[in-house]
Structure 1
Amino acid sequence: MMSYLRKLFRERLGWVAGATLVALGAGAATFQNMPVADAAGGGLNASQAYRSGLPFLGALPSLAGATTWLNSPPLDTAQLRGKVVLVDFWTYSCINCIRTLPHVRAWAEKYRDQGLVVIGVHTPEFSFEKDTANIEKAIARFKIDYPIAVDTEHRVWDTFHNNVWPAFYIADAQGQIRAHFVGEGNYDKTEKIIQSLLAEAGKHDAMGALTTPQASGEQAAPDIAHLRSGETYVGYEQASNFVSRSGLKRDVAYEYSISDPGLNEWSLGGNWTVGAERTTLNRAGGSIAYRFAARDLHLVLGPSADRTPVRFKVRIDGHAPGENHGSDTDPAGNGIVTQTRLYQLVRQSGVVKEHVFDIRFLDPGVGAFAFTFG
Structure 2
Amino acid sequence: MSGQRRVPAWLRKDSDRLPVEGELPSFDGATGWLNSPALSAAGLRGKVVVIDFWTYTCINWLRQLPYVRAWAEKYSEQGLVVVGVHTPEFPFEQDAGNVNRAVRDLRVDYPVAIDSDYAVWQAFDNHYWPALYFADAEGRIRHHHFGEGEYERSETVIQQLLAEAGSSTSDSLVSVEGDGLEAPADWDTLRTPETYAGYYRTESFASPGGVVQDKPHSYAVPPELRLNRWALSGDWTMRPHAPRLNTAEGQVVYRFHARDLHMVMRPAAGTAVPFRVLLDGQPPGDAHGGDVDADGRGTVVEQRLYQLIRQPETVADRTFEITFLDPGVEVFAFTFG
Alignment TM class, shorter chain as reference: over 0.9
Could you tell me which of 297, 300, 309 is aligned with 2:261?
A: 297
How do residues 139-288 of structure 1 correspond to structure 2 at under 5 angstroms?
A: 139-204=103-168, 206-259=169-222, 260-288=224-252
Alignment gaps of 5+ in structure 1? 1-32, 39-50
Query: Whole-Å Cα distance in 1 between the matches of residues 280 and 325 of structure 2?
Result: 19
Aligned to 2:287: 324
Helix, strand or coil at the partner of 2:134: strand
Aligned to 1:94: 58
Instruction: Indicate if the aligned counterparts of 1:236 and 1:276 stay in contact, CA closer than 8 A.
Output: yes
Helix, strand or coil at the partner of 2:149: coil
Query: Whole-Å Cα distance in 2 between the matches of residues 300 and 164 of structure 1?
Result: 18
Aligned to 1:36: 12
Query: Whole-Å Cα distance in 1 between the matches of residues 298 and 208 of structure 2?
Result: 30
Structure 1 residue 78: Cα displacement: 1.1
Helix, strand or coil at the partner of 2:172: coil
Compared with structure 1, are the counterparts of its residues 193 and 311 closer, same or farther at alpha carbon in structure 2 (3 Å cutoff)?
Answer: same
Q: Deviations over 1:215-248 (max 9, x none)?
A: 1111110011111000111100001111122221
Query: Whole-Å Cα distance in 2 between the matches of residues 243 and 86 of structure 1?
Result: 42
Instruction: Indicate if the aligned counterparts of 2:30 and 2:115 stay in contact, CA closer than 8 A.
Output: yes
Query: Whole-Å Cα distance in 2 between the matches of residues 164 and 144 of structure 1?
Result: 20
Amino acid at match of 2:306: Y
Report % sequence identity: 51
Instruction: Tell me whether 1:115 sits opposite 2:91 in the alignment.
Output: no
Aligned to 1:314: 277
Structure 1 residue 36: Cα displacement: 2.5
Instruction: Indicate if the aligned counterparts of 1:92 and 1:135 stay in contact, CA closer than 8 A.
Output: yes
How do residues 19-34 of structure 1 correspond to structure 2 at under 5 angstroms?
A: none
Amino acid at match of 1:282: N
Helix, strand or coil at the partner of 1:335: strand
Instruction: Indicate if the aligned counterparts of 2:11 and 2:153 stay in contact, CA closer than 8 A.
Output: no
Compared with structure 1, are the counterparts of its residues 198 and 312 closer, same or farther at alpha carbon in structure 2 (3 Å cutoff)?
Answer: same
Instruction: Indicate if the aligned counterparts of 1:196 and 1:207 stay in contact, CA closer than 8 A.
Output: no
Structure 1 residue 35: Cα displacement: 7.4
Amino acid at match of 1:308: T
Could you tell me which of 35, 41, 59 is aligned with 1:77?
A: 41
Q: Deviations over 1:262-311 (max 9, x none)?
A: 1110000111111000111111100000000001100001011x230110
Query: Whole-Å Cα distance in 2 between the matches of residues 79 and 36 of structure 1?
Result: 29
Query: Whole-Å Cα distance in 2 between the matches of residues 34 and 87 of structure 1?
Result: 25
Query: Whole-Å Cα distance in 2 between the matches of residues 244 and 67 of structure 1?
Result: 40
Instruction: Indicate if the aligned counterparts of 2:11 and 2:156 stay in contact, CA closer than 8 A.
Output: no
Amino acid at match of 1:236: Y
Q: Deviations over 1:162-220 (max 9, x none)?
A: 1111110000111111101001011111011101111111111x222111122111111
Query: Whole-Å Cα distance in 1 between the matches of residues 333 and 77 of structure 2?
Result: 39
Query: Whole-Å Cα distance in 2 between the matches of residues 74 and 138 of structure 1?
Result: 19
Structure 1 residue 52: Cα displacement: 3.3
Q: Deviations over 1:42-98 (max 9, x none)?
A: xxxxxxxxx933111111111111111111110001110000000001111111111
Query: Whole-Å Cα distance in 2 between the matches of residues 85 and 339 of structure 1?
Result: 33
Which has the larger share of strand?
A: 2
Alignment gaps of 5+ in structure 2? 1-8
Instruction: Tell me whether 1:59 sits opposite 2:59 in the alignment.
Output: no
Query: Whole-Å Cα distance in 1 between the matches of residues 43 and 208 of structure 2?
Result: 59
Instruction: Indicate if the aligned counterparts of 2:208 and 2:221 stay in contact, CA closer than 8 A.
Output: no
Structure 1 residue 133: Cα displacement: 0.6
Query: Whole-Å Cα distance in 2 between the matches of residues 36 and 207 of structure 1?
Result: 12
How do residues 122-137 of structure 1 correspond to structure 2 at under 5 angstroms?
A: 122-137=86-101
Could you tell me which of 325, 339, 357 is aligned with 2:320?
A: 357
Query: Whole-Å Cα distance in 1 between the matches of residues 270 and 90 of structure 2?
Result: 17
Amino acid at match of 1:252: K
Q: Deviations over 1:290-349 (max 9, x none)?
A: 000001100001011x23011000000000000011111111111111111110100110
Query: Whole-Å Cα distance in 2 between the matches of residues 208 and 162 of structure 1?
Result: 30
- Structure 1 ranges of 4+ moved more than 6 A: none
Query: Whole-Å Cα distance in 2 between the matches of residues 244 and 75 of structure 1?
Result: 49
Query: Whole-Å Cα distance in 1 between the matches of residues 20 and 208 of structure 2?
Result: 56
